[in-house]
Chain A
């Protein structure tokens, strides 16, 4: 586990010391600060106010007053001569729990119509006693991104052209994204599926100078994915996504070009197009799609999961809105389900606390843990929620909530345009920061992902069906007084002795299901394929080994102990755990866990071998096997696998000897060769499909040849 958090706090403190002087001379707008400072300050009058404009928001920063309880931020519309053209309003209250460093208070003001001009003042309060206002600072806010005279940049969403009176409709979205696609070489819009009512579900694939041509090529760039609108009545993030897509598609600034030169951005504006059009939370059947990402009963979630399988984003954000009026502006939460690899949980926490809290304190946005301050029933361990599903798929990610209601620190604005803009531009800030985080931390992200895949494939440790990791409170001052509920697993939700595999009957695997729209559901076989799990067919059923990257998710859907499972598969425990002396000939189904084979292993035609945590002193050879799974094991000798019919997986093994995969014809299953240390040559030939490493490279002390040359 990496613990970046303490370092980050120190850095942010250093940053705080210099923030004012850095921003004041060059970017503060409005009246010259020097003139302000020469005036005689009243006691406890806030000084040093600066206002820095960004996309859809303005960051106010000021010198703190000793003993202040909180600060009020006031905004008034002004004309070019800074004469007020409308009433001044208190747009927010800064409290110490707002940011991790109190030495340099900041506040992001948003909600105004971008491009308008305002004057801001800040005053401290001691308890509820207001102190004198600072001298005002006026500034013109940034107009919506993109030069109106430059093709492409000039595109605007319906939400923008109506000044947020209307959200962008479905067909307007299609027209807008099609124009972005047509006018930008960087963008390709792909349809990843259809909704229940047959609306296209589009995804923008954005790269520089052009996006990689195939999903597989995109996957090789360690892409990141933003899911913008799963609940149809929570449209704020979606509008941010559409504006962000335009900026990524046409922005000529060095930062955008640099980002897109190093990765691919995947944006799904509307996974729930039917719900968005109807303004319902669920899809057209009433199903809450964010309770379906593991089960994939609905076409929308199935489309997203297939996209994850094919494009393999290494990091993700999932956009929502929420109505809690007492917590922060931007609640976030990592994948907490205890079956998520700890490396993914830790890196997701680092993304939230190490990046979002720090940048939020700099830019004035109040990120905080979802579930803080009265949210005790939310943010839990359901694997049906995308946050947890993504974690169980070894993707670093977070939930994002946009605060939709007023309260003690924000005015109560209802569903007004002002409130809509504040939400959307707070999402825009978060998603932009998400891109920055990915750019700066990709080695850490991919390392966490690699270690997580290796951990999962090793099939070690207990299984938890429901239950979360605690979210520790950030060291004070922290962005939320009370953290989310611990949500530790109940005893009946724990299985200490994990099986080796689940066996499904023909009926369980291929039988008709009634849990989809119109009481028609995809088969378990189709859903397993959508998740991308490996399955081997034996004479007595279908085996789903746990020795694979989504080991944490498999039992939640195939075990009778699961809270929301598809079927009650049969737990298959290892057939061998101890020491075996002499040659081992595998026929039928053999699972070895933590064993030792003192001799060569031969897998017979039609047989299945699963070995984890096992030492084999001798060659391993398989010819015509149904499946070969080897993980977290040591082989002192060559490994030769050929002619396999169903699945091949070698993950995190130490192999002293050449490794050769040849003529394995595994249908839709892609042979996996990831994270192995091979002393000797690695060669792959005539495999269909060609093996992959899922972005987890092998260390090969010898030549790599054929289909494995790049693994």
Chain B
């Protein structure tokens, strides 16, 4: 996103809470101390392989631009190299995470929608990566309990956990944004299919 395209939060933001939050992000992460030395981008493994430039994102935020629509915001692997190496002590990675939070609250349509499967999977089964029948049997063979001693296999605990998640409103927050404001939404029935093998596939086979 070029500077000309980026809009100023000060002029665009109608919600005083969100305006305050934006300033809080700049303050908490010490973005205003940035001197644009570029050390962050120099050590960025994602920057070597894609168009994310941490220095540019920090610059835009520093100038008060709204970067919630920047696709690059979602290309950071949160490796913390930039934050560790910043000579001015800017918490760059924390800023990226806070700006992602803001993008989600504001209804950002650039976030990777596949993540919604992880969110619904967590609510339904208390795990980001649920257990499959293949692994159940492998567990038994090597002397582990077929079902792990976890929340997914504790119906009472799971119910409480779901109540907690609903109270936090994370599913609603993300799904509402996914479906768009004003449109009906519900707990979408996404069965999470990890694109990975589970010990039954041979090396070299497609993982899809």
Q: Is the A/B pair a real complex?
A: no
Chain B residues proximal to chain A, CB less than 8 Å: none
